[in-house]
Amino acid sequence: MEKMPIPSAILRLAIPTVFSTIISIIYNLTDTYFIGLLDDPIQLGAISLAFPVFTFLQAVGNMFGLGAPSYISRCLGAKKYDEVRKTSAVSIYVTVIITFVLTLLILIFMEPILSLIGTSSDTVSPTKNYLHIIVGFAVILILQIILPALLRAEGKAKEAMIGMVIGTVVNIVLDPVMILALHMGVAGAAWATVIGNFCAVVFYVVVYLKGNTSLSIQPKDFKPSLQIFKEVIKIGLPSTIAQTLSSIMLILFNNLAVGYGDQVISAYGVAVKMITMEFMIIFGYVQGYVPLAGYNFGAGNVKRMINGLKFTIVTGTGICLLFLIPFTVLAPTYMGAFTTNREIIEIGTLFLHAQAWAVPIMAIQTSLMSTFQATGQAMRALVINLGRQCLFYLPFLYLFNHLWGMNGLLHVQMASDLATTIVAVLIGYPFFKKLLHHKTISEQ
């Protein structure tokens, strides 16, 4: 954090995190792939329709899964180890309590939720089967988010990665058995996801209980304080709001897209996996820089933090450029891996080709957003989070649909990402200029 050359420090933290992210992506794609082997657009559509609810549950985990690591990294830089233990314990237990409450509410209001997310008479039954299992065991899914996130904040990216490997291997093994061999369809995909996550959580709990960490899951360290909630929520809440809005935007998108046929929803459901894949990988790479940023910001070493940001943007952009290949020339091949339906493949390919215009600049957007989170700049982080998920996405969604119909829907996410990146640069430049100016004055 303090003395290792910046490229070495970031890569040492980033590579395991990126590997964990890739594993997580494989984890998410596995269900879609094996459901695709059934060659049933209805069940493939059910997975897509359930995705907003799944994303909403993930947003709950990210409230503390993103907010707590930022505060923990800063506390580690300031040598506040007691605060680190309390923050980790409070974050875990409060997240579990919130998840149980939300699980109960979603199960009670399942019928209106199914109507809201755009299910048709054909897709309502498989979507309901999938969600009953996923929501019923939501606490396992949420713990699988927050436990490794806290470990990464301490620099234990390797342990976080191992848990992901365990969960993914279990999921991959169970998917063909439950979906194909046992003919359970989407319900089998849900059970495979839950069991895989459970195995990962067991591993993480063992890591925490071994005690070779500054973090804690011990009840004795569950000591809530206004300071902890303030620091965690001011960073975690923007992300949760943005991800919740992302779920809402996806619901609105599905309700517009269903007017063009269930094939459009199925196609977008597969295509959005690739869009999410690119964002998750670059976000995972940037997470290798985030602990360094938070630690050095907390320690007052602003120049090292900014040099780390520059390195992350340059190298991250290189990664983004590589993603142009699956978004362009390999787009039909990617879509064809999940379905043989020619119409779904063609529509999904159009979605990927449109998004390719925004791919090269995603490292800039993600690096700036993560820097604001690591340094406690909640409002700046909120603006960027809301930009791509709501502030630009929502008006573009209805405007583009009105002007160009389905072709307009293809370009909504691309336009939102371009606009958000421009805003990120505009609000980031004065912040970093001010930091460097104050640092220069203090050195004089």
pLDDT value for 243:
77
HSE-CB of 269 using CA atoms within 13 angstroms: 32
Residues 403 and 412: their CA atoms lie apart, in Å, by: 12
Which tens digits make up the pLDDT trace of 222-247?
Answer: 998 999 998 888 878 877 877 788 78
Residues 403 and 316: their CA atoms lie apart, in Å, by: 35
Length reported for the chain: 444
**Tokens of residue 42, six digits:** 């209805």
DSSP codes, 51-100: HHHHHHHHHHHHHHHHHHHHHHHHHHHTT-HHHHHHHHHHHHHHHHHHHH
What b/e sequence results for 251-286 when a residue is b if at least 16 CB atoms lie within 10 Å of its CB, and e otherwise?
A: bbbbebbbeeebbbbbbbbbbbbbbbbbbbbbbbbb
Q: What percentage of the chain carries pLDDT values higher than 70?
A: 98
pLDDT value for 32:
82
Residues 322 and 403: their CA atoms lie apart, in Å, by: 32
162, pLDDT greater than 70: yes
Residues 6+ apart with CB under 8 A from 441: none
Q: What is the mean pLDDT of residues 80-97?
A: 91
Q: What is the mean pLDDT of residues 290-316?
A: 88
Which tens digits make up the pLDDT trace of 310-356?
Answer: 999 999 999 999 999 999 999 999 999 888 889 999 999 999 999 99
Mean pLDDT for the chain overall: 87
Residues 6+ apart with CB under 8 A from 119: 46, 49, 127, 128
Q: What is the mean pLDDT of residues 74-94?
A: 89
444, pLDDT greater than 50: no
DSSP codes, 11-22: HHHHHHHHHHHH
Higher pLDDT, 434 or 88: 88
DSSP codes, 292-358: HHHHHHHTT-HHHHHHHHHHHHHHHHHHHHHTHHHHTTTHHHHHHTT---HHHHHHHHHHHHHHTTT
pLDDT value for 2:
77
Contact in structure between 71 and 231 (CB atoms under 8 Å): yes
- Cβ atoms within 10 Å, residue 26: 17
What b/e sequence results for 37-63 when a residue is b if at least 16 CB atoms lie within 10 Å of its CB, and e otherwise?
A: ebebbbbbbbbbbbbbbbbbbbbbbbb
* Percentages (nearest 5) of helix, strand, coil residues in the chain: 85, 0, 15
HSE-CB of 289 using CA atoms within 13 angstroms: 30
251, pLDDT greater than 90: no
The pTM is what? 0.71
